[in-house]
A and B are shown apart, each in its own frame.
Chain A
Amino acid sequence: MSAVDDVDELIERYQLALDGFMKGDPEPVQELYFHREDASLANPYGPPVRGWDEIAKTTEHAASLRRAGRARGFDIVAKYVTAELAYVVQIEHLESKIGQSEEITPYSLRATMIFRPEDGTWKVVHRHADPIITTQPPESVIHEE
């Protein structure tokens, strides 16, 4: 298969894995990640983390807050594939029960994901996701501590 086919398949598998994540299971997502020191994750909850141990902890924590959810759909904004690195920018439409809530809440994430191959297998080497979908006021960059 070409790199484009491999990356398309990885993107599709990640989308399916997110469906499991929304049900509280981080493992399908974790299987698609590089388990290496230079992998990184900037998820909706906090500062960027680096290295597999931190990524595993962060994904487990986020999945533990989710139940009975699903991935509703994806809009690809941009995708680019080269022999050694590839990336996708997508909007992810998700829903789940979050925290103690008994209601299923729909939400969307802006996600940038970067992929690279190792020994012929493409994996996720970085993910950056946030829920900033609607236009924010300029002062939103400043935290109210």
Chain B
Amino acid sequence: MVAWAEVDELIERYHQALGEFMKGDPDPVKKLWSHREDASLTNPQGSVARGWTEIAEAMDRAASTRRDGKFLGFEVVTKRVSDELAYVVEVEHLEAKVHGAREITPYALRVTMIFGPEEGVWKVVHRHADQISTPPQPEESAVQS
């Protein structure tokens, strides 16, 4: 299936772009995103960004706090591709100097990404990422303090 190959390629390019993101550059990631008004980003810093302007701002903010990092690897939990929409659930392993820290710190994200084709090119239409990747969380962790 053509769509499978294109979605796999987009996921691989996104991982490469995350390597640049971890060095502070959001542009390679941004190039893979849909600019549609109903695109959305729920990132680990708490954003609920909708539409390209808000998404770009959220990514600029997050990338600006990362330096000297890289994309370490990933594990796919599940993936599904149709002609009009596709998604992947994965755990991403990353590392960077975060927010001015001197040491490089590794961390992991739980990620759901959704993709759609736009004029023949597959783009990211949604990304939900958070740092809840190590069990167990305390009972109260679902409550925002």
Contacts and interface: CB of A to CB of B under 8 A. Distances in A.
Interface of A: 38-40, 42, 44-48, 50, 62, 65, 77-80, 82-87, 89, 91, 98-99, 105, 107-110, 112, 114, 116, 125-126, 128, 130-143, 145
B128 to A, nearest CB: 4
Interface of B: 38-40, 42, 44-48, 50, 62, 65-66, 77-78, 80, 82-87, 89, 91, 98-99, 101, 105, 107, 109-110, 112, 114, 116, 125-126, 128, 130-137, 139-144
B99 A139 contact: yes
Nearest to A145: B134
Contacts, number: 168
B80 A87 contact: no
B142 A112 contact: no
A42 B112 contact: yes
Interface centre among B78, B101, B140 (most CB of A within 10 A): B78
A138 B65 contact: yes
